[in-house]
Amino acid sequence: MDNQLLTLSKIFTERLFRIPDYQRGYAWGEKQLRDFWSDLDQLEDGQNHYTGVLTLENVPAEVCEKWGDDAWIINSKKFEPLYVVDGQQRLTTSIILIQVILENIDESIRINYNTKEEVQKKFIFDSKDGGISRSYIFGYEKDNPWTGQPFVDTRTP
């Protein structure tokens, strides 16, 4: 993977992120969340938020083959499966923020010229069958070791 500065949108282009099972679960508390929000709140128009370095690792093909529910997005849509080795807390917080925004905006609102559905497909989940099954773009390889639950959108479709 290139060592260059990328926007969150470019980081999430045709990539499937998994937190490997040896990583701890989500652990940010109120202080880290307040710092993150403060950083975003202080951004001037036209400026970008530098979230730090992400360390990503290619997931071996034999491991991906065991991800049955996600095989279609890897094989058919050619999404690159990656482990998040470092940067999980920042990425998780960003995805939670995107999800909360999506839950609180009207369907008619565009985000950077994208519909709510387009943003959801890029950052949250995609579906091959109209929403019956979902492949989450970012999540834990196995159940979240922090909560015992997968990191998924728990709202009913």
- Tens of pLDDT, residue by residue over 13-47, are 999 999 998 888 889 999 999 999 998 989 888 87
Higher pLDDT, 56 or 7: 56
CA distances 77 to 59, 62, 68, Å, are 16, 18, 15
Lowest mean pLDDT among 4-8, 110-114, 126-130: 4-8
In whole angstroms, what is the distance from residue 93 CA to residue 131 CA?
24
Residue boundaries of the structural domains of the chain: 1-24+50-157
Is residue 68 within 8 A of residue 5, CB to CB? The reply is no
Lowest mean pLDDT among 42-56, 72-86, 89-103: 42-56
Q: Kindly report whether the global pTM for this prediction surpasses the value 0.85.
A: no
